[in-house]
Every structure is written in structure tokens, then in C-alpha cells.
């Protein structure tokens, strides 16, 4: 790993909190992700399943975690299974974790080789009444691929049909949504790496550069700062491309007079950051671009103030809609007739601002969080309003990552990343 791991006490605490939520005589199982194939002998880089990582700190394929608080023997309350290395693997891929290393990272004393899993699982199954399976219940999930977790659940149900079943995900949705200090520090480091990339490109962007060249500048800065790279597929959208919300082609030339919208951020230690900035290709905003930019920035600043303990996500977005409506009236994109004729299901502002303003973030860019529950201190949210005007050939989105505080406005983890018009123009024209 490139990153500095979080101390094992963090993962021990997470397991204790999770175990408290299990029903008596229950056993929970967590599998690592697969290594996914491309074709021939090519594969995608391995990405650990964030749940097993959150509970163990283990960042290696073919790993399994068992949590069984009511196990007869104390050594079986927490068990980690890892892939056994051999000379061939060590030669071609490098050595895998030893039992000692895995124990040090996770704080789990009982570590077995993966080859022992079925035998030990059989023994433990006789001691429990219920299996907790780790299904994906995120509100944005749309996975079609069968995962390693899916295959395990199918195998387990076939072989142990008499056991009751519970769900781990609702427990983890609550636990993971409130960040520990160690997690906020990792997210802050990801934000700091993102800032380095953004400051680098401010002096690089000029008429004639290609969107993919800007992406490459970010990648260089991310990698040299111990990040694996992008936290999500980067969006570098110049000119009319900035009106496409999930534009990822990044293959157009940036032209004089255009804006370039960059929704791009680095990760650190599997924790994401999520940033959007929109800057003028030629180094100076036009008067109209400034006018729209100021409106987006005003909404971002005012929306941020609403992220306090007790806020309900859906109600928050209603209030942001009011803020955006006011700004769109101010800059002439809406008039009073638009407001009078709007309906509740499709408010007028949605013509120019189609997406949500905030989402949980952390180990996933769109992280866990039960949206019907009130916001709490130490939750991390994005704030990302935008105005998109296809008829004028540009869109503007601004986005920061903030931590909800127990009192007062949220703490902006991206507070040092340039966002004001004057600072951006000054840095671009040095």
C-alpha cells in the first residue's frame, strides 16, 4: 500500500460497535471484492470492498472476515481469513500479507488461511442461529455483476438452509455515515491532494490545451502524493460539454472564451474527496460568466449553512431549491410567470439545476447514509450546486466537502482550495 494505514484500534472500535447491533447467537460474514476481468489475461486494478476494509483495514483480495460475538471460544469472536502466499505468487505478484501482518493491521488475533474457511465455518455454524449477510442496499446501487459476496450468500443458503438470515447493511449505513476523527483526517488528506492538483492546473490551462491533458496534470499530482489516483471517473468538460452532467470523454480542445468545468478529485487510503471547480480557459471570466458564477457560489455558501445536526436531507434540498430559484430570477433565467406556473413535482429551477446538492461521502464517493434520518455531527457531505445553460454554451458547478459540526456551520475540508473569482483569475494570470 502507498498510504499510511489507520491504527488498528480504529478497526477494533468499528467491530465492537457493529457487534453490539447483532441479535444473539448471530454470525456476520464479510467478503473482499473480486479482481474483475477485462478480457484475455487483463484485469482491473483491485479495489477492496469498503465494508470489510472499514471493519478490518485489510486491503487484499480473497479475504473473509467473520464476527461472532457469542462464539463458544473467545478466539472465534473475530476471525480473519487471508490468502496464503507461495513462492510462485511472491515471484510474479509480490508477497501477500502474512498472518502476523494481517493481525497487526486489523487488531484481529485469530487469522487463518483461506483454505481453512469451509471447515471452520462448518464448526461455527453449529453454534449460531442466524447469518448476517452483507448485501448492497445503497440507494444509488445498480450493480448487475454477481459479486464474491453474492456467490457466498448463494452458497451459504444452499448449504445451511435452516439458519435464519439478517442484514449487515442497515447497521453499516448508520455506523459508516458518522465519521471518526481518523476518517476525517484521511478525507482531509485526500482533499489536500486534490488541492495540489487544482493549483497545478490553474497555471496549465490556456486556449489550445486538451481536456485529457488537464486530466493528466491532475493524475500526475495525485500519484506523486501517495494516492492511487482518481476517487471517481474524472469530468473535464469545456465549453458546451459542461452542460453534460456526467461527461467523461475528456477529449475536446479548450477554446478561448470558454469555461472548463472540472469535477475531479483524488483519494487517499480508500477515502474519497469530491471537488468541482469551473474556470475560464483564457484566464478571465466574461461579465455574463461572472454573473452566473456568483449565483452558483452564493447558493453554495448559503446551502452550506443549512448542514447542521437535525437537518433532514429531503427538506434541505427543498430549501436549496428556494435559494437557487432566487438566484435564477436575479440573473434572468427565470421570471415570475415561471414561478407561478411551476408544479411541486417539477419546480422551475430544475430546468437549470437538475441534480441534488449534497450526498454523504467517505470510503465511497457516494457514501453510506440513511437519508430519512436527521443529519449528525461528524457526517461528511458534499455541497455542489450548479447552473447549466445549454443555450448560452456553458454550465457552472462548484463543490466542496464539509463536516457537520455539533454547533455552528460545517467545517469546509476544501476551504483552502481557490474558489473566489478574483483568486482564480490572479492565479491563472501569474
Q: Give the model confidence (pLDDT) of 214-249 as tens digits.
A: 999 999 999 999 999 999 999 999 999 999 999 999
pTM over 0.95: yes
Q: Is 377 helix (H, G, I), strand (E, B) or coil?
A: coil
* Per-residue model confidence (pLDDT) at position 214: 98
Alpha-carbon distance of 21 to 174, in angstroms, equals 11
Alpha-carbon distance of 395 to 34, in angstroms, equals 38
Nearest to 73 by CA among 16, 12, 115, 127: 127
Query: Which three three-digit cell numbers place residue 140?
Result: 444509488
Alpha-carbon distance of 416 to 142, in angstroms, equals 35
* Per-residue model confidence (pLDDT) at position 144: 85
Q: Is 31 helix (H, G, I), strand (E, B) or coil?
A: strand
Alpha-carbon distance of 313 to 333, in angstroms, equals 26
What is residue 50's DSSP assignment?
H
> What confidence tens digit (pLDDT) does each residue in 309-351 have?
999 999 999 999 999 999 999 999 999 999 999 988 889 999 9
Give the pairing type, strands 164-167 and 130-133: parallel
Task: Delineate the domains of the chain, giving CATH numbers in brackets.
Answer: 8-177 (3.40.350.10), 181-428 (3.90.230.10)
Residue 19 has pLDDT above 90, yes or no: yes
Question: What Cα–Cα distance (Å) separates residue 380 from each residue in 50, 179, 247, 366?
Answer: 16, 7, 25, 11
In the predicted model, what is the mean pLDDT of residues 273-293?
Answer: 98
Residue 253 CA, chain-centre distance (Å), reads 29
With pLDDT > 70 as the criterion, what percentage of the chain qualifies?
100
What helix, strand, coil percent values describe the chain, rounded to 5? 40, 20, 45
Question: What Cα–Cα distance (Å) separates residue 181 from each residue in 6, 19, 49, 187?
Answer: 11, 21, 21, 10
* Residue that has been written with the C-alpha cell 472476515 in this structure: 65
Amino acid at each position: 500500500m502507498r498510504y499510511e494505514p489507520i491504527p488498528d484500534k480504529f478497526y477494533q472500535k468499528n467491530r465492537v460497535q457493529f457487534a453490539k447491533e447483532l441479535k444473539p447467537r448471530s454470525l456476520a460474514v464479510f467478503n473482499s471484492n473480486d479482481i474483475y476481468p477485462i478480457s484475455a489475461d487483463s484485469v482491473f486494478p483491485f479495489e477492496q470492498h469498503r465494508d470489510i476494509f472499514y471493519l478490518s483495514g485489510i486491503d487484499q483480495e480473497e479475504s473473509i472476515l467473520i464476527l461472532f460475538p457469542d462464539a463458544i471460544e473467545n478466539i472465534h469472536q473475530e476471525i480473519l481469513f487471508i490468502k496464503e502466499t507461495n513462492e510462485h505468487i511472491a515471484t510474479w505478484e509480490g508477497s501477500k500479507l502474512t498472518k502476523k501482518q494481517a493481525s497487526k493491521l486489523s487488531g484481529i488475533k485469530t487469522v487463518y488461511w483461506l483454505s481453512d474457511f469451509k471447515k471452520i465455518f462448518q464448526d461455527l455454524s453449529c453454534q449460531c442461529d442466524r447469518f448476517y449477510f452483507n448485501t448492497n442496499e445503497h440507494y444509488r446501487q445498480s450493480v448487475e455483476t454477481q459479486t464474491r459476496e453474492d456467490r457466498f450468500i448463494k452458497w451459504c443458503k444452499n448449504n445451511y438452509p435452516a439458519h435464519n438470515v439478517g442484514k449487515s447493511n442497515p447497521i453499516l449505513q448508520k455506523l459508516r455515515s458518522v465519521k471518526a476523527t481518523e476518517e476525517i483526517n484521511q478525507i482531509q488528506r485526500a482533499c489536500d491532494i486534490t488541492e495540489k492538483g487544482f493549483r497545478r492546473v490553474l497555471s496549465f490551462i490556456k486556449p489550445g490545451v486538451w481536456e485529457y491533458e488537464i486530466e493528466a496534470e491532475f493524475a500526475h499530482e495525485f500519484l506523486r502524493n501517495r494516492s492511487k489516483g482518481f476517487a471517481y471517473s474524472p469530468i473535464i468538460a469545456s465549453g458546451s460539454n459542461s452542460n453534460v452532467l456526467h461527461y467523461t470523454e475528456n477529449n475536446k480542445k479548450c477554446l478561448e472564451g470558454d469555461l472548463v468545468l472540472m469535477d475531479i478529485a483524488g483519494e487517499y487510503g480508500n477515502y474519497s474527496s469530491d471537488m468541482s471547480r469551473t474556470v475560464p480557459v483564457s484566464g478571465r471570466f466574461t461579465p455574463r460568466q461572472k454573473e452566473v458564477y456568483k449565483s452558483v457560489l452564493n447558493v453554495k455558501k448559503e446551502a452550506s449553512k443549512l448542514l447542521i445536526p437535525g437537518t433532514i436531507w429531503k427538506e434541505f434540498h427543498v430549501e436549496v431549491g428556494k435559494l437557487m430559484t432566487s438566484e435564477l430570477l436575479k440573473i434572468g433565467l427565470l421570471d415570475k410567470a415561471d414561478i407561478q406556473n411551476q408544479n411541486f413535482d417539477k419546480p422551475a429551477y430544475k430546468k437549470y439545476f437538475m441534480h441534488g446538492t449534497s450526498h454523504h461521502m467517505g470510503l465511497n464517493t457516494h457514501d453510506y447514509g440513511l437519508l430519512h434520518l436527521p443529519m449528525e455531527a461528524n457526517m461528511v457531505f458534499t455541497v455542489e450546486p450548479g447552473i447549466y445553460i445549454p443555450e448560452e454554451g456553458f454550465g457552472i458547478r462548484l463543490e466542496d466537502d464539509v463536516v457537520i459540526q455539533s454547533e455552528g456551520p460545517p467545517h469546509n475540508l476544501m476551504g483552502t482550495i481557490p474558489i473566489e473569482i478574483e483568486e482564480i483569475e490572479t492565479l491563472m494570470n501569474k
